[in-house]
Structure 1
Amino acid sequence: MANSDPDKLMIKAEKLTKLSFTRWSSDWKTATSLYEQAAVGYRFRKDNEKAKEAFEKASKGQEMISSPWDAAKHMESAAALAKELGRWNEVSDHYRRASELYIECGRSQPASDALAKAARALEDVAPDEAVRLYTDACVVLEEDGKEQMAFDLYRAITSIHVKLERYTDAATFLLRLGVAADKCNAVHSQCKAYLSAIIVYLYAHDFQQAQKCYNDCSQIEAFLNSDQNRCASKLFSAYEEGDAEEIKRVAKSSTISNLDHVIIRLARKLPTGDLKELKREEAKEEEPLDENDLT
């Protein structure tokens, strides 16, 4: 590189993109090359702020010369530097833009990956935005018929909700994982997702919702005839009998040990809540209707 000073490269590139009395058209091709060289130079200097700006401009340049793939790559580089700088809004915005550019290229996998990278970066600092990013990453894949590639993303969403003690949301996304698995005939993953959702409801001590989830999932033949269904049935029997020791025994079964770690941890803490209270509530529901009681 004849002129390796990134500051001078940036100045030269800026001149090529601005119109003046002596320059009636922009030379984005040359300018983009200069922005790219400057970005590398700044990164070598460990000047992340200026490197990020150079990659942003290089990305715009690649867009201007109709190269969305390279534009997306540069925008991802800018997003990674924004992460290093703790610019969390920019992390989300830049990765989202990269995803859009990949979609322009007709490439759903890197488009989804870009959103997932943003989500992973934001899990601790902005969990709600991370969930939105992971969800959008799932949608990108599902719209392209690549549901199986979204499984880990749904698991990541579930993990965030469990960490935040949002158990109903966690179960909801596990059921969505089950639906995605069903579409691509991934029966084992489907059945594991349904059992996991039931365990989440039990952990939240929402026996009624757990029972409803079990009944709904049992309408699906694949789950009805599965080891996961039999395991869930044993759990419900133990709950109905108020047998805490049996619940703990089932929770240590190989079927549950093959679930995701976040679900195994919940299962090993079962039973939560008061089993006696649960039985009293069930007894109330089963009380026969007194036809003479008009209250």
Structure 2
Amino acid sequence: MTSSDPEKLMAKADKMTKLSFTRWNADWKNAAVLYEQAGISLRVGKHYEKAKLAFEKASKGQEMLSSPWDAARHMESAAAMAKEIGSWNEVADFYRRASELYIECGRSQPASDAVAKGARALEESLPEEAVNLYINACDILEEDEKEQMAFDLYRAAASVYIKLEKYEDAATVLLRWGLAADKCNAKNSQCKAYLSAIIVYLYIHDLKQAEQCYNDCLQTDAFMGSDQFRSASKLLSAYREGDTEEIKRVGQSSIISNLDHVIIRLARKLPTGELNAFQAGAAREEEGDELDEDNLV
């Protein structure tokens, strides 16, 4: 057994951190170095479970030394090892802890990146947890007024929500992306986000919410003069008129083809329900408006 044997390094480090009658203070400084060396060696040897434990201990050592940056870095390594062995709950926990440690350093970008890595790792196995991590990553950047760096995260979160068939949540995230883009003066992204949200509402056959979303988006000058605005207007008009062919034609348009793939797939399937109900509902609303006007006379 050589001095570079990871098992020996771990044992030596463990001994340094245990208090006894002859050792009154833990030697975290040297132990952290040994844990890191053991973790690297075990990772190279593909002993991922043991490497995970080594990096966890290296992270704890750096915390004890009041070095949150190095602690976060080792915690990310532990998360990567947890991913290798399919320990998905640990993946989430470790990346969250790494993010918290980066925040202690005042570093929002790596803090957001850490939970985003966790989200990407969990999309297939734990999609609910993945979307929570994506939202967490967005929150971190928004708090630091770095919304422009979160655009891909909003899109990823919306995509996972759609896969989970949580369409209203997806629309909410898309609108949140639109507001963030507005703050950054990223007009093209803003308009794409708004049109995408409207398409999501149409996909779940909620014309009322789609129109409300459309009217809210009209409050922004950027959307009013955009190609996305024109596509949304055409879609809603076609729904009101019960024109299935026009809905399909707009769904195949180049403007919609430039949206994210998950949104394009939804748009290509429109309309998803009977249009007669929409027309009847619109007629009732018009009659109600006329009665209201009479009451005002």
What secondary structure sits across from 2:125 in the alignment? coil
- 1:10 aligns with 10
Partners of 1:137 and 1:229 in 2: CA distance: 29
1:46 matches 2:46: yes
Shift of 1:128: 1.7
Q: Unmatched 5+ residue regions in structure 2?
A: 293-297
- 1:69 aligns with 69
Shift of 1:67: 1.9
- 1:94 aligns with 94
Matches within 5 A, 1:142-181: 142-181=142-181
Matches within 5 A, 1:246-265: 246-265=246-265
What secondary structure sits across from 2:117 in the alignment? helix
- 2:295 aligns with none
Q: One-letter code of the match for 1:66?
A: S
What secondary structure sits across from 2:34 in the alignment? helix
Shift of 1:2: 6.0
Encode CA deviations 1:195-245: one digit per residue, 9 max, x unaligned.
110011011110111011101110111111211111111111111221111
What secondary structure sits across from 1:236 in the alignment? helix
- 1:278 aligns with 278
Q: One-letter code of the match for 2:57?
A: K
TM-score, normalising length: structure 2: 0.94
What secondary structure sits across from 1:106 in the alignment? coil
Encode CA deviations 1:109-144: one digit per residue, 9 max, x unaligned.
111010001111112222221111111100111111
- 2:219 aligns with 219
Partners of 1:238 and 1:73 in 2: CA distance: 54
Partners of 1:191 and 1:84 in 2: CA distance: 39
Matches within 5 A, 1:185-264: 185-264=185-264
Shift of 1:23: 1.3
Partners of 1:233 and 1:216 in 2: CA distance: 13
Aligned length: 291
Partners of 1:32 and 1:164 in 2: CA distance: 41
Shift of 1:280: 1.8
Q: Unmatched 5+ residue regions in structure 1?
A: 291-295
Q: One-letter code of the match for 1:170?
A: A
- 1:56 aligns with 56
Shift of 1:271: 1.2
Partners of 1:87 and 1:221 in 2: CA distance: 48
Partners of 1:50 and 1:161 in 2: CA distance: 35
Shift of 1:277: 2.3
What secondary structure sits across from 2:75 in the alignment? helix
Instruction: Indicate the RMSD between aligned Cα atoms, in angstroms.
Output: 1.6
Partners of 1:73 and 1:27 in 2: CA distance: 20
Partners of 1:42 and 1:164 in 2: CA distance: 37
Matches within 5 A, 1:124-135: 124-135=124-135
Partners of 1:111 and 1:45 in 2: CA distance: 29
Partners of 1:123 and 1:204 in 2: CA distance: 23
Partners of 1:88 and 1:159 in 2: CA distance: 20
Identity %: 73
Partners of 1:124 and 1:40 in 2: CA distance: 27
